[in-house]
Structure 1
Amino acid sequence: MNIQVRSDSGSSTAGSSVVVDEGSIVIRIGRPVGTGVSAEGASQADRAALLGFAARADCYQGLVLWHRYEAVYALLRAKQAEADVAADGDGGSESGADAYTRLYDPLCQVAASYATAAGVRQCTAEHFVEAAVACMERIPAVGRLMRDGLICPAWFRRVVEQTALVDDADLLRFIDAEIAHTLSEAGTLSAARVEALVSSIVAEHDPDAVTLTREQVKLAKQVRVNALGEGVSEVIVTASAEDAMVVKDVLDAVIAGVCSHDPRTRGERRSAAAVARLAGTDFVCECGRDDCTAELSAEAIAARCARVVLHVVVRKETLGGESDTPAYLDGYGPISAEHVRELAARPDAVRRELNLDEIVDHQAQPGNAYRPTAAVDAAMRGLFGMCSWPGCERAAWKSDLDHVSEFNHADPTAGGPTCVCNLNPKCRFHHGLKTFVGGWIDDQVVDANGVIWTEVTTPEGFTVRQRALNMWLLSELGHLTCRHPAPTRPGSGHAGVAPERSRTRMEAKHRYRMQQRAANRRACQAVEAASPTRGSVTDWATEWGEPQF
């Protein structure tokens, strides 16, 4: 049979194909023009092809691994059948056979054969056979996503771990189908996005699986010291997710007081600060200068630590116990309903309700059209969960809130609005990359189903699209009606005497990016309309609609 293996961007490598028959797997990977030579003078399309090949040509690894799993699973089934026949024939009466089956069950035997052939340890082989069972029996729909190149083997193994505690067969089939559907429609994926989406599904449909994990973590809380050699050891402190995040933020608050001449790396400063806090000694700047400007007094450190806040986004009905919809802990990911209710019961917890009516009525602060209201700020950070740039995992509340279509400070009506449809979080690095480096285009659209999508196009012309991470938690945001006027044509706000330049640099940049965004949308719609797999489970996204500007 012929199989078209897709990259997680939703498009196949040009000229690539896979033919699988009874005796072989023939993989043909299209190699773009210009590979191995200088890209100087190459067209943007050629550069996009080069970038796509370099970034996505490994999507075939999942196909090969799936067939490896299939092979070892067939061996396991054959060994199990032999064991069943032996048990039926002997009635289990021979003590030798009984001891043999107890010590060396079929999985152990197949793993031993695999370990011998592959040259790996027995425990590694058993993990491989267990993953094959998960791929073929427990979560076959997710396994097919790996086979088709939508998720990589590492992400599949993480899904196996996250679903390991689901023991109800019917519920597991539903969760498997739900995970496969969600991942296939989420656009471009990353390790953090896969883990967050899967965690939210498992926590919503089988809270006991997450609860068991939390109980195991509570029992595993400890402090361990491991020698690393050369006079260095590591101290491992196992704690709850929220406590671990507080510790990290507190350490960052402590080291923020050193002067700019401190020679240590951030990691070295954190290590020194942790040792100082635990040992009860002072953390000091090591610049050695007489004019050191470090602010490391107890009062200064306490003031910075007092500003450490953990943000949790949760639905009101979950806190009230009417629902078990998971919550989202900024910087960590989805947490179970039981977990968030424990956090809400802490004496230091502060609860603020998000009023969607308030968002509809006014999205920018009164008197300042550039600054979003606190409600809009919290809503957009909660919706995206992390930096909206593909592949970035920076926490949303540690990122900037960016106007996707640039805000025009000189003439706000000619620029992008301060609105849910035009705001998303970006870490400081990617915010600066988009703003100051030429060729980068980002966009944000709301499709006909109320799903919010972001799109980033590299200077080479390679476009990556992905769905807002937490649409499952704040789906109402995609259905809000924008009340702002559409941006006017750049330059139209300058009436009267014509300036020397027809438009400012900001207006020129805004005009260029608006044109590129429109062109990208038209291209996307054309590809979607021509796609033969449109509407199937392997489609990466739903149909795109016009942006609600």
Structure 2
Amino acid sequence: MFDRIGLAGMNEEALISALAAATRAEAVAAADRLALIAEVTARQCDDEDEVSARQVIDGWAFAKAQVSAACNVSERAASTQMRIGVALRERLPRTAALFATGAVSAKVIAEITWRTHLVTDEEALALIDDGIATEATTYAVLSEAALIRAVDFWVEKYDPIAVIRSKAAAKDLYVEFDDRDDPNGVSSFWGRLRATDKEAVKQRLHGLADTVCANDPRPLGERLSAAMGALGVVGPSLERLACQCGDPDCAGSGKDPRSGAVVIYALTDQVPGTDARPAPEPGPGPQPAPEPASDEAGEPELPAEPAADPESDEPAEPAALAPAEPAPAATIPGAGAGITLDGTIIPAAMLADLIATGATVKPLAEVADLPTERQYRPSTALTAFVRMRSQTCSFPGCSKPAHRCDVDHVTPWPAGATHPGNMRPLCREHHLLKTFRTGPGGWTLTAHPDGTSQWTAPTGHTYVTRPGAAVLFPQWNIHTTVPPPRSISLLDDDYRGAMMPTRKRTRAQDREYRINAERVRNASELALAHIRAGAAKDAEAAKDPGAHGSAAGGDVVGGEMGNGGAFSDPDPPPF
């Protein structure tokens, strides 16, 4: 449809009219989609009993799996769509009706549902819904800041405590990672710490940054970044940073502890040597901190953190994969660009730096060298193969990196063998879904020799997920047989109901708690704002008494001063 056939003959007026109609149709389709999502959610969550609501895989989680598979989106995106759909269906019917006509976009609707989610009074919510629906057709032309002000106007009018004051204020203490504008190989992070924690971290970073010699070419900011990376992968026992002065006699020269914490998996015929990077010139440029890698690769190389203990339940750390086409040997011998299992690109120069400064390089086992294992827990080699083959959770739409997933038996052990054909990485939520919501009315997973995973939904729909290595590393042989169940008698589902993990509070109780906590915080902020405003007026009146009081003997009486300046607003917000 992008070949211009049929479009070239349209005049300008018809072209723009068609564009406007397509935009409106897109909004109508989005409204229909959210209505369907809300119905899927309602069928699983409405009238849910207390026992089911306290299970980790409750009605919401079960509906989320259906939505994420049908829409091919992550569980987080599915949950967001569900909340928007439910808000339109149950809280904002007039706004939903307007959305169904295509008068406003899905982006505007998402902002409206978010900016009103703290409103708890039904009467106030109805008034806000009416006000927004009356004006919403003009919202699409507003900037993001203007849109927020427009929606907040109605919330402020009828329920001022429900206005979202700020995202940071709601979180108080937090740390976040990754900005969409981050270049390959580096990641942003930001957050809030307690003042005392900040000072401790600051002193520790400056102390490490000062351990290099005077000839280290990096500015202070770069050395502080290196120190932060060293804390993350090495721990508090680190005494000094690796110096980059280029002098072999320098006490700080040698292997970089950050690189030493990285494991690079590579195909057996493409293992790079320690000479993967040319010898550095004196005073090299900055050496970025490595992105954590995981255990599993599909081709050349990949950076990762320490390999998993075969006796541990914890997943191995992330690793990075090198590309099918290595970089020219003349520039970076033996090393190409890499990719971590969470999708972060590791540039070729950084990957070569990691190898040259101490990263561990491990060959990745070939599938022919991975026979059936007798024990329940897969070996380190088998775990690495399974994770690198899939690279993400095997559930449709889920993008959780494989190093953060459980390595699960498709056919449960002991009936199912500990064998590469019977193992798939599943994030904890989808692992529980497969384990406790399987069979009739649940989800069924079928493994195929090429590494694909076929999921059959409760409705009978099927979804097939393809392993990431098949896309990025097509030369890597990941084909393996799928062993049949060793004995049907070993399959026993009777334990599943008793072993389902539970939560202390239901999802609805958690949400109510968060909303109430934020409303209390907002009420406190409003009260303090009124107190400060009153105090400011008192101070102004003290400077110019004649402007606020009567002239009887020069005394100041009445007005704002009569109540000490506090709560000059006739209708102060509740505490």
Superposed pair shares fold, TM > 0.5: no
Using the size of structure 1 for normalisation, the TM-score is 0.36
Using the size of structure 2 for normalisation, the TM-score is 0.35
